[in-house]
């Protein structure tokens, strides 16, 4: 697959409206670790979250994903950053579903992991994905993540415990 070009830029308060809209979409949020509220967040809560990301007060390095023509399509982050052992957890969502399955996820991960290995000086990026999130698992395998194991009943989703797969990529395995 030829990868589409994406840019990761810092979040701004202009991103609140898109984020709020995407968070109302259950297909987008089903597999995201979010509270089961409808709407998942109010506009005000979304704004506060984005402000915390901008100010770097919530432990997340979260960026906006934009396309070649500057369309805002989603977000990507690293969190649980362990500088001692040089690893962090990655999270991603393409909020605009028109862009699913076209390589944008892989392209954004490539940019984020390059940043994490080179700028944050990390050695490993890991993630947790729900066992029934087939689209994400396909994308992560395509990207080259290796499976570390099953985290049993790791997510409480709609009153049901769901297993998650832990996957990771080492700096020495990153070939993009």
Question: In the window 23-82, what residues touch ligand COA (CB under 6 A)?
Answer: 28, 31-32
Is residue 138 within the footprint of ligand COA (CB under 6 A)?
yes
Which residue among the candidates 140, 145, 175, 176 is catalytic per the annotation? 140
Of 10-18, 80-88, 103-111, 148-156, the window that binds ligand COA (rule: CB under 6 A) is: 103-111
Of 15-23, 34-42, 54-62, 135-143, the window that binds ligand COA (rule: CB under 6 A) is: 135-143
Is residue 93 within the footprint of ligand COA (CB under 6 A)?
yes
Please state, in angstroms and rounded to a whole number, the distance separating the CA atoms of residues 78 and 108: 12
Q: Any idea which residue has 């969190």 for tokens?
A: 79
CA 131, 133, 136, 138 torsion-angle sign: positive
| Among 92, 112, 165, 169, interactor with ligand COA by CB under 6 A | 92
Contact assessment for residue 62 and residue 53, using Cβ atoms and an 8 Å cutoff: yes
Smallest gap, in angstroms, from Cβ of residue 103 to ligand COA?
5
Contact assessment for residue 4 and residue 67, using Cβ atoms and an 8 Å cutoff: yes
Neighbours of 129 (CB within 10 A): 21
Any idea which residues carry the catalytic annotation?
140
Which parts of this chain interact with ligand COA (CB under 6 A)? 1, 28, 31-32, 92-94, 100-106, 129, 133-136, 138-139, 142
């Amino acid at each position: 697959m030829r990868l589409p070009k994406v840019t990761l830029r810092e979040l701004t308060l202009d991103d609140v409206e898109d984020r709020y809209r995407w968070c109302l979409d259950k297909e987008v949020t089903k597999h995201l670790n979010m509270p089961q509220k409808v709407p998942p967040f109010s506009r005000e809560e979304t704004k506060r979250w984005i402000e915390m990301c901008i100010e770097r007060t919530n432990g997340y390095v979260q960026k906006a994903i934009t396309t070649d023509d500057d369309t805002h399509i989603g977000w990507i982050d690293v969190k649980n950053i362990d500088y001692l052992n040089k690893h962090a957890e990655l999270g991603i969502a393409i909020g605009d579903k028109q862009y699913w399955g076209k390589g944008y996820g892989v392209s954004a991960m490539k940019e984020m992991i390059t940043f994490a290995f080179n700028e944050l000086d990390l050695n490993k990026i890991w993630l947790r994905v729900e066992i029934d999130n087939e689209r994400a698992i396909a994308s992560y395998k395509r990207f080259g993540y290796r499976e570390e194991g099953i985290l049993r009943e790791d997510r409480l989703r709609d009153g049901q415990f769901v297993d998650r797969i832990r996957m990771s990529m080492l700096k020495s395995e990153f070939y993009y």
